[in-house]
Structure 1
């Protein structure tokens, strides 16, 4: 009987910088739109003007990985 101990496991590849660009662009675009919403629309989504301004000031790469874009 022959036993094989060698592992042919592939190392996990790190995603390329370019693969994340659409997500970063979507975050930037969503924050620009949030900044332009009027008070009634902000009230509908449960966000104050101060919260919207604070979120819009954040950089596009400062987004949780759990966000879906």
Structure 2
């Protein structure tokens, strides 16, 4: 019985760590997208984006990220 409860506790801790990781990822993505729309036209050209593309990216949800980022 001790082994089962230990395994459940370990799985719950991993779940919490995964949740915390996703929250921090979402906050980071929000910050980056907010900064993207603050770039001027010259800076946007340097990274190969138009102002409209930057605005479109900024409108995306914080959770709308590539699946590989969630691993």
Runs of 4+ in 1 over 6 A off after TM superposition: none
The 1:19–1:64 alpha-carbon spacing in structure 2 relative to 1, beyond 3 Å, is same
| 1:49 equivalenced with 2:47 (yes/no) | no
Q: Structure 1 unaligned runs (5+)?
A: 1-9
Q: CA deviation at 1:22?
A: 1.3
> Partner residue of 2:36?
34
> Partner residue of 2:62?
60
Q: CA deviation at 1:58?
A: 0.6
Query: Which has the larger helix fraction?
Result: 2
RMSD after superposition: 1.8
When Rg is computed on C-alpha atoms for both structures, the one with the higher figure is: 1
